[in-house]
Amino acid sequence: MYSCGVAYLVEQNLPNPEIAKGFVENFRMIILIGSLRIGELEEYFTPTLIGLIFALLAACIPFFWKCRKR
């Protein structure tokens, strides 16, 4: 949101339209990079979730062994 606001204000207030075009291109790159990072989130989320599940299962093993010995 902050980047959108800054890009809009800079584009509206600059006297040279060429500079404004450069800011618009930079803003498009910011949006593109942000969308790519959202796509990468899926790549990291699933392995992290699977690792947490197996870590919880491994942490529960001693508890289950104690219950069976009684």
Residue 26 has a pLDDT of 74
Residue 42 has a pLDDT of 67
* Structural domain containing residue 22: 2-69
Residue 16 has a pLDDT of 64
Each residue of 3-48: pLDDT tens digit? 666 666 666 666 666 666 676 777 777 777 766 666 666 667 777 8
The CA distance from 37 to 32, in Å, is 9
Residue with tokens 């899926």: 42
In a 3-state reduction of DSSP, which class is residue 70?
coil
Residue 70 has a pLDDT of 62
Domain count, the chain: 1
